[in-house]
Amino acid sequence: MTTREDTHGCDYFTSLFLLPQLCNSTLATLIHQKKVAEMLSIG
């Protein structure tokens, strides 16, 4: 049996761990799309 505090703490640490990765992947996607758009406009 786990208490509500335990599961909440787990969710908290999971979000702390996953949020930076989510932000990084989103930024990487936006930067990649911007580079592709620039290449296409130049070409």
Q: How far, in Å, CA of 33 to CA of 30, rounded?
A: 5
pLDDT score for 28: 94
Q: How far, in Å, CA of 27 to CA of 4, rounded?
A: 34
The CB-side HSE value for 29 (13 A sphere, CA atoms) comes to 6
pLDDT in tens, 2-43: 666 666 677 888 888 889 998 899 999 999 999 999 999 986
Q: How far, in Å, CA of 38 to CA of 42, rounded?
A: 6
Domain extent listing, the chain: 7-42
Instruction: Say whether pTM exceeds 0.75.
Output: no
What are the distances in angstroms from CA 23 to CA 14, 15, 29? 14, 12, 10
